[in-house]
Chain A
Amino acid sequence: DSGVTQTPKHLITATGQRVTLRCSPRSGDLSVYWYQQSLDQGLQFLIQYYNGEERAKGNILERFSAQQFPDLHSELNLSSLELGDSALYFCASSVDGDRDLSGANVLTFGAGSRLTVL
């Protein structure tokens, strides 16, 4: 167990629907990252939050949004779902989003949420 908790583990939904993925970071970590992993794209960075504030944005679609709450858990909202959104969505956390991601500040990943859009 990495200490990063993601729910749900599996989710099957239909095109056009909206889903919310939840992540609880490792105890003591202030920064949360969301990644998408699909068969043909590998791990793609979506967005980073640090202590409740958005810190960096990657290849996140406008249909997707995220937030980090005061208790530091984060939610990734995916709306108007398309078949191509089917993927594994990983949450990762680190102690401090401003320092290099190494040593004690290494990225720790959760087990992921597998989204299937039919």
Chain B
Amino acid sequence: EDQVTQSPEALRLQEGESSSLNCSYTVSGLRGLFWYRQDPGKGPEFLFTLYSAGEEKEKERLKATLTKKESFLHITAPKPEDSATYLCAVLGASGSARQLTFGSGTQLTVLP
């Protein structure tokens, strides 16, 4: 069974204070690791897909990296508008299911 664990559960940063969110995963045959952003009262919004260890993707102040066991979402010089819950998910090759397995998320608060 695919499993995803995200840490920390919650993170408070001052504006401009860089940090990283962690996503540890166990999956049978990784077909993709996904990062989503979820604002309160809204659905998850797609950020990145990573496929293999060593891969990196960047978007504005966000950079996602992948190893064989975990992924990091690095946030450089965050702004208050980066406040949201960040979700990590994996797509495995087990069985015939094509659904994503999500972690519980990291709730990020960036204070001005």
Pick the interface stretch among A13-21, A68-76, A79-87, A92-100: A92-100
> Which of B43, B49, B51 is A92 in contact with, Cβ under 8 Å?
B43
**Chain A hits for B61, CB < 8 A:** none
Number of interface residues of A (CB under 8 A): 26
Residues facing B in A45-72 (CB within 8 A) are 45, 48, 55-56, 58
CB distance from B89 to the nearest CB of A (A): 8
Q: Closest CB of chain B to A50's CB: distance in Å?
A: 9
* Given A42-B104, A102-B32, A102-B34, residue A56 in contact with residue B43 (CB < 8 A): no
Using CB atoms, name the residue of chain A closest to B43: A109
Indicate if A111 sits at the interface (CB-CB under 8 A).
Answer: yes
Establish whether residues A110 and B98, one from each chain, have CB atoms under 8 Å apart when the complex forms.
Answer: no
